[in-house]
A and B are shown apart, each in its own frame.
Chain A
């Protein structure tokens, strides 16, 4: 036994070194942005700041939080993300579970039916017309419904159910007189928390970062999600200076544009931070889900 534990320990050491290297590569750019967001902008653009903040200033954050549109965008994004993720799960999970059951007839046909949508679509204009005729233009529904679930998620979730829910369990429940609804909600879902959490997170991140649907379907600024506002802020200085009729007047734009450069980093942090903060909580939930999953054996 000792012999193996030596090789095991060597494995552990190499494994840890490997992970630490990967972590450094992944984390460094993030630290850079974080430091840049609170450093003097000239120090950043001239390259004096390369790891830790230089000449700390919070002007960027002050400017970002003084914009009422950012707060509103935040609120909208949170709403769209929560509502969208909930609807996503309500559509995805029942479908994936049903598809994982061998009693289901025409499974192959239904799978193809779903898969085909991944490969083939009618294009933007007909989709736009449908969204329009459903009365969803300029509403939250235009953000959460058109991409509510993808073939990809259904297939992955189905594979999970297929592998981790033993047939005997379902059959036993059926013999006990449980209906399929009951089995799905009371037996299968509690055993599937890892996949529920993973799928919810996947979709939530997509919703949080998406802007294209908002760009196409929303016209009220009050309804814009954060990403759209963010894009607006990031392109403002560019637009302003490329548009001759927009040249300001009588004062230097340098300060203005440098603050804009500073805002850029602050906005990155502000828009990404909520997910980064929320994630560890969900991760704990992951772990619980996994524990429950292993107890069942």
Chain B
């Protein structure tokens, strides 16, 4: 008995001692964390008390703390709503579509990395990044200009080739394609930057060694470049998953009209409309909370899978 207690005591002491020692030696590292941690506490964690309004009936004069509790009423209302399944379906399809196109920037980065002519490479990079500098409002404006059923360039070409004009902007079938591919147009080059940066860190000696062994370019891409940037790919992929239910709502809102709403209505636009525009804060908060819970679940699951399968993960 006595020895066991004494041992535990010693173990605790050494653990405490280790922590103390670590702080003494590395305190500067912890100081480096302070600005970011303070920011997250003040602007993210403190406001989290606001989550409770999802379970309350928010009344402005009584504040967030003082408003009366309603339990799960807002959730029930959302789940029973006519729009629930549609919102869920649209959000998932739109996100999945974007996720499927996740490899495109990687391909572009690999391809750009292989270009030897510096001038061409620099021009190609500059030009592919360019759309990213354009704001969403403007991009949607351009979509409207190009796809207009009568005056839009695309339909003019279709009609000139003997086809029939397609009402791209008002068609529920086309909405997802237009949304996603215009997104690709805008972010393709930009998203490739991070992979290019990663590729620039690949050890050139590996390539030299492979060349000596007689590996072709494609073989070297497959066996050196891709594995080298795999950790970056995995991290970015998991992060994308973590925001799976988060679609760029501003762009959706700008592209939405009465005719395509059956596919363009997503959870976030719904939250924005009911919350900030209609002032139903509690209901909107409940939907937002539902969204967050799905995101967290997905993130945890995929991180687990990534760690099992590729050995790299977020944590």
- Does any Cβ of A come within 8 Å of B96's Cβ? no
In the bound complex, CA of A283 to CA of B112 (Å): 14
Q: List chain A residues, Cβ under 8 A from B243.
A: 118
- Does any Cβ of B come within 8 Å of A58's Cβ? no
Contact B218 A26, beta carbon cutoff 8 Å: no
Contact A115 B314, beta carbon cutoff 8 Å: yes
| Contacts between the two chains (Cβ within 8 Å), count | 251
Contact B194 A156, beta carbon cutoff 8 Å: yes
**In the complex, which residue of chain B has the Cβ closest to the Cβ of A114?**
B40
Q: List chain B residues, Cβ under 8 A from A172.
A: none
Task: Say whether, besides A29-B142, A163-B201, A180-B26, A46 and B151 are in contact (CB < 8 Å).
Answer: yes
Interface positions of B from 11 to 41, Cβ below 8 Å from A: 19, 22, 25-26, 28-33, 35-37, 39-40
Main secondary structure of the interface of B (DSSP, over half): helix
Closest Cβ of chain A to B29, distance in Å, is 5
Mark interface residues in A157-199 (1 if CB within 8 Å of B CB, else 0).
Answer: 0011001100000000000000111001000000000110010
Contact A208 B133, beta carbon cutoff 8 Å: yes
Interface residue from A8, A130, A163, A234 paired with B43 (Cβ < 8 Å)? A130
Interface residue from B19, B22, B132, B201 paired with A205 (Cβ < 8 Å)? B132
Contact B129 A119, beta carbon cutoff 8 Å: no
Contact A113 B40, beta carbon cutoff 8 Å: yes
**In the complex, which residue of chain A has the Cβ closest to the Cβ of B108?**
A22
In the bound complex, CA of A279 to CA of B296 (Å): 36
Mark interface residues in B138-155 (1 if CB within 8 Å of A CB, else 0).
Answer: 100110011000010100
Interface residue from A114, A126, A195, A231 paired with B64 (Cβ < 8 Å)? A126
Contact A227 B201, beta carbon cutoff 8 Å: no
- Does any Cβ of A come within 8 Å of B7's Cβ? no
Contact B288 A104, beta carbon cutoff 8 Å: no
In the bound complex, CA of A4 to CA of B53 (Å): 66
Interface residue from B30, B250, B315 paired with A111 (Cβ < 8 Å)? B315
Contact A4 B133, beta carbon cutoff 8 Å: no
Closest Cβ of chain A to B269, distance in Å, is 14
* Chain B count of residues within 8 A CB distance of the other chain: 95
Task: Say whether, besides A112-B315, A163-B231, A145 and B185 are in contact (CB < 8 Å).
Answer: no
Q: List chain A residues, Cβ under 8 A from B188.
A: 22, 26
Task: Say whether, besides A94-B36, A209-B136, A294-B204, A105 and B19 are in contact (CB < 8 Å).
Answer: yes
Q: List chain B residues, Cβ under 8 A from A111.
A: 314-315
In the bound complex, CA of A131 to CA of B291 (Å): 24
Closest Cβ of chain B to A13, distance in Å, is 12
Closest Cβ of chain A to B80, distance in Å, is 23
Contact B204 A297, beta carbon cutoff 8 Å: yes
Contact A95 B47, beta carbon cutoff 8 Å: no
Q: Pick out which of these stretches binds chain A: B81-89, B114-122, B161-169.
A: B114-122
Task: Say whether, besides A121-B44, A122-B50, A149-B36, A19 and B111 are in contact (CB < 8 Å).
Answer: yes
In the bound complex, CA of A290 to CA of B235 (Å): 21
Task: Say whether, besides A123-B50, A181-B28, A194 and B197 are in contact (CB < 8 Å).
Answer: yes
Closest Cβ of chain B to A206, distance in Å, is 10
Contact B36 A97, beta carbon cutoff 8 Å: no
- Does any Cβ of A come within 8 Å of B216's Cβ? yes
Residues of B near any A CB (own CB < 8 A): 19, 22, 25-26, 28-33, 35-37, 39-40, 42-51, 53, 58, 64, 108, 111-112, 114-116, 120, 122, 124-138, 141-142, 145-146, 151, 153, 156, 185, 188-190, 193-194, 197-198, 200-201, 203-205, 214, 216-218, 231-232, 235-236, 239, 242-243, 250, 275-276, 281, 284-285, 288, 292, 295-296, 299, 314-315
Q: Which 5 residue pairs are nearest across A and B when measured between Cβ atoms?
A: A126-B50, A122-B47, A122-B50, A94-B32, A95-B36
Offer 30 A-B interface pairs, CB within 8 angstroms, sorted by A. Answer: A4-B214, A23-B124, A23-B127, A26-B131, A29-B131, A29-B185, A32-B145, A33-B142, A47-B153, A95-B33, A112-B315, A114-B40, A121-B44, A122-B47, A125-B64, A130-B43, A145-B43, A163-B232, A164-B201, A184-B32, A198-B197, A208-B133, A209-B133, A230-B137, A268-B141, A271-B138, A272-B134, A279-B126, A283-B122, A293-B200
